Structure 1
């Protein structure tokens, strides 16, 4: 049994896993800036799975918080391994400077490659940023980093006096002309990101060499996917799935 951790810019998510699957109903998250809450989230993830773990396997994009993560592991009596430096991922990294690739991006690419039989794959991660990661054959080629849904919402709701925070509820049958501020905001954000995905996927398929299987993960994937035909499948917790696969490759 392993405890997995995805240390992102906004939250750190914990979830237990065994050799076959992720365990528990969902990830247990705590704000990245509140390491004192991480131990509770980690313990809750283990309790939800009804399990004890032998080690913690993690991906981090916040180097300054890795010491906090190791502290949590120590309090739980677990060894801590970070991908890809301490726990390599079995995927070729073709980034110009391989060390610049976020561990979360490599983890989703690795998970996609292991669980999808398409030759060409594009993985969308709707996190703090929206990332497009491209896989062809056994190689991670790179991708794109675009604004995130939450950061985009925050930028115009904080900088404008009369715009409320959108609920992101839309009619999935199609875009229409907004007839209220909330309606206009909801459709602008949801359909705007869907259009961005459709346009960028079409452009990325040219250098990829043909049509790609498009997987989506991250907190907003289930909101954007129903109105975005370019997305073929939503995969929950694909970062953690990549960590699970890496943990048992090493076992």
Structure 2
């Protein structure tokens, strides 16, 4: 049997997202809490169980491509994949270059996740100017124009802000955010006030910051949302043209297929 499955790993500060893809594209994804105390065996067994759940065998895994913003996870991922799949791991951008001109003042400071989503967002959009809004531990707004990653903004994250507020304020309850289907309503309980405040507050941030960025860029732009909460918040954000929850995994799959591609020179 010829190996044909790409294993894609997005190691983030809060969660690690796992994707499996083949020639037809990304076909499933899973989420694990990022655990820096994991061992190569515990992680390898978890990855193996996901591959099996998707109906594939370890022998079918042809490549492993990783975006990581958690350096302690890198050797764990490498050893786990080498032992359980017999495949050497390629990290972005160390081993696989993202084909975007990086205009950051200090290019090495840009997280791999931001570069990969910017690249995938540029390919997904129909306009040469793209703003990618990623709802992660932080909410990031990243701007791409043509083949150039211009930089962006890093704002508070929805769930990390909610968690901080709940931890630091004794009488505020822990809530599960529910987007609902209506517009803004005035909360009549503490839980409703929190839910409405966070949903519409972050939606207003997307609309306001997105609008300012479009004005600053000076030409029409596609505003694209990704991340775990993107689909639920999108109905409250009219400016969002596209919603791609797994954009980073899609970008990793594209990079895994094309190998190492040199960035465009200035």
TM-score by length of 2: 0.89
Number of residues of Structure 1 aligned to a counterpart in Structure 2: 250
Match of 2:169 among 150, 160, 163: 160
Q: Distance in 1 between matches of 2:53 and 2:219?
A: 42
Q: Distance in 1 between matches of 2:7 and 2:68?
A: 14
- Would you say the 8 A contact 1:28–1:42 is kept in 2? no
Q: Distance in 2 between matches of 1:158 and 1:39?
A: 33
SS in 1 for 2:257: helix
The one-character-per-residue Cα deviations of 1:8-43 (angstroms, maximum 9, x if unpaired) are 10122212111330122x324243334244223311
Match of 2:69 among 54, 61, 65: 61
Match of 1:29 among 32, 35, 50: 32
C-alpha displacement at 1:78, in angstroms?
A: 1.2
Greater mean alpha carbon deviation, residues 30-39 or residues 198-207: 30-39
The one-character-per-residue Cα deviations of 1:178-225 (angstroms, maximum 9, x if unpaired) are 111111010001110000111100111122222311111111112211
Runs of 4+ deviating beyond 6 Å: none
C-alpha displacement at 1:127, in angstroms?
A: 0.7
Q: Distance in 1 between matches of 2:18 and 2:246?
A: 10
TM-score by length of 1: 0.94
The residue aligned with 2:146 is: 137
Structure 2: state its 5+ residue gaps. Answer: 261-266
Structure 1: state its 5+ residue gaps. Answer: none
Match of 1:120 among 113, 129, 132: 129
Q: Distance in 2 between matches of 1:64 and 1:180?
A: 42
> 1:47–1:232: structure 2 CA closer, same or farther, 3 Å change rule?
same
Match of 1:40 among 42, 45, 65: 45
The one-character-per-residue Cα deviations of 1:140-180 (angstroms, maximum 9, x if unpaired) are 11111111111101111011111111221244321121111
